[in-house]
Amino acid sequence: MKFQVGDQVVYPPQGAGVVQEIVKRQVLGEPQQYLKVVFVRGNMEVLVPLEKAMEVGLRRTMSPEEADRLRQQVDSELDLPNQWPPRFRVEQEILARCDAFELSRLIGTLTRRNEDRGLASTEREILETARALLASELAIVFDTGLEESEQWIDDNLLAPAGEA
């Protein structure tokens, strides 16, 4: 996959951003090219080695049509382990992959669990991180701010059936 200036990308686990430029640097006497990615969350910048972009998980954002398919995923319960340490590992792996569809399922599962019996503070943090990562991608996809994207998650993914 070839990346270019202006591409909308996701860099796990930082979230979504835009390739602002291709930077050339000398590293150990060798010329290297880097993608300068500016993220929506925190307005942070990262240089990603162009040759290793795929290896580190850089991918293009989903399309607006794919975002609409997130609604189907949120109702699909994740099969998470009952015991905390293995469940925590699975949730961390989902956050690290930063796949929008997995994040959607994680958000739905943890939101339902929170409504049923509450979440421990660590798992609430995981839920908030998943929401923030998904919101950053949606902000890029729909060209909105983070607050609007978080509202989209509430209105379209977490609204009771029939209200979305």
Q: What is the pTM of this model?
A: 0.90
Q: Quick: pLDDT tens for 94-145.
A: 999 999 999 999 999 999 999 999 999 999 999 999 999 999 999 999 999 9
Domain range enclosing 51? 8-60
**Spatial separation of the C-alpha atoms in residues 90 and 92, rounded to whole Å:** 5
In a domain, 3, yes or no: no
Q: Quick: pLDDT tens for 19-78.
A: 999 999 998 899 999 999 999 988 799 999 999 999 999 999 999 989 888 877 777 888
**Spatial separation of the C-alpha atoms in residues 19 and 3, rounded to whole Å:** 8
Measuring CA to CA, which residue among 90, 127, 93, 123 is closest to residue 108? 127
In a domain, 164, yes or no: no
> What CATH number is given to the structural domain containing 128?
1.20.58.1290
User: Which whole number is the average pLDDT over 144-153?
Assistant: 93
Residue 18's CB: how many other CB atoms inside 10 A? 16
Task: Give the pLDDT band (50/70/90) at residue 160.
Answer: low
Residue 125: per-residue pLDDT: 97
In a domain, 96, yes or no: yes
Residues 147, 68 within the same domain: yes
Residue 164: per-residue pLDDT: 45
Q: Among residues 26, 43, 60, which one ends one of the domains?
A: 60
CB-CB contact of 55 with 31 (8 Å):
no
Residues 87, 119 within the same domain: yes
> What CATH number is given to the structural domain containing 26?
2.40.10.170
